[in-house]
């Protein structure tokens, strides 16, 4: 019996923009520069990022 695959927890650019107090465009730029892969979210054109990767980035950069 195999375990079901767990979906990664994702955060949107908008949520990060609120949290980091910058524009969504700059958020996407920060993520691209730090090589965090974006998972496309089609409904309203936002990107989604893996929460664990974002937390690692915050620990590295924002302290």
Q: What is the pLDDT of residue 53?
A: 79
Block means of pLDDT (10 residues each) for the chain, 63 residues, are 57 78 80 76 68 76 62
Q: What is the pLDDT of residue 1?
A: 47
What is the DSSP code (8-state) at residue 7? Answer: P
Asked if residues 49 and 31 have their Cβ atoms less than 8 Å apart, the reply is: yes
Strands 38-40 and 10-12: unpaired
Global pTM value: 0.56
User: Which burial class, exposed, middle or buried, applies to 13 when counting CB atoms under 10 A from its CB (0-12, 13-18, 19+)?
Assistant: buried
């Amino acid at each position: 019996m195999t375990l079901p695959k767990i979906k990664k927890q994702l955060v949107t650019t908008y949520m990060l923009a609120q949290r980091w107090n910058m524009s969504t465009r700059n958020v996407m730029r920060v993520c691209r520069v730090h090589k965090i892969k974006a998972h496309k979210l089609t409904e309203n054109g936002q990107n989604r990022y893996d929460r664990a990767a974002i937390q690692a980035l915050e620990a590295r950069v924002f302290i």
